């Protein structure tokens, strides 16, 4: 088995070395060997719409009306959401909104309260 790192873009295991860079054959992403050593202790940083760093347990305010998929409900501008949890993925905030229930939000649609 190879000791090469997985692709940081798509997570593919089939990376290979080409000189002093790594290449992913699945998504064609290229990165340097120095980038691997620097990002090995990577910490997830999620920022709100204004660039403030969010943490678990923060309170945020919704900055745009958000339609709830699959229902006629709408999360209105100014809705305050308490005690958020940060998760990996496209919708990186997991929370519970009063009157609506559990929901996942994108950090680009909230600001830190």
Residue 25 inside a domain? The answer is yes
Asked whether residue 31 falls in the same domain as residue 63, the answer is no
Asked whether residue 107 falls in the same domain as residue 67, the answer is yes
For the chain, the domain total comes to 2
Asked whether residue 68 falls in the same domain as residue 36, the answer is no
Joined together, the tokens standing for residue 72 give 């006629």
Residue 67 inside a domain? The answer is yes
Give the integer Cα–Cα distance in Å for 20 and 47. Answer: 32
Residue 52 in contact with residue 45, Cβ under 8 Å?
Answer: no
Q: Which residue has the tokens 């760093």?
A: 53
Q: Which domain holds residue 94?
A: 59-112
**CATH code where residue 24 lies:** 2.20.25.10
Tens digit of each residue's pLDDT (9 = 90 or more) over 65-99: 999 999 999 999 999 999 999 998 899 999 999 99
Residue 49 inside a domain? The answer is no
Q: Which residue has the tokens 């873009």?
A: 9
pTM, entire model: 0.62
Q: Which residue has the tokens 């290979």?
A: 16
Q: How confident is the model at residue 1 (pLDDT cuts 50, 70, 90)?
A: very low
């Amino acid at each position: 088995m190879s000791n090469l790192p997985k692709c940081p873009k798509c997570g593919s295991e089939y990376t290979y070395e080409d000189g002093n860079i790594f290449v992913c054959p699945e998504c064609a992403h290229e990165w340097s060997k120095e980038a691997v050593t620097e990002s090995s202790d990577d910490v997830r940083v999620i920022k709100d719409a204004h660039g403030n760093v969010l943490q678990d347990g923060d309170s945020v305010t919704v900055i745009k009306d958000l339609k709830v998929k699959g229902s006629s409900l709408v999360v209105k501008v100014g809705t305050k959401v308490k005690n958020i949890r940060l998760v990996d993925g496209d919708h990186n905030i997991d929370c519970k909104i009063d009157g609506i229930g559990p929901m996942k939000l994108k950090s680009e649609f909230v600001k830190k309260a």
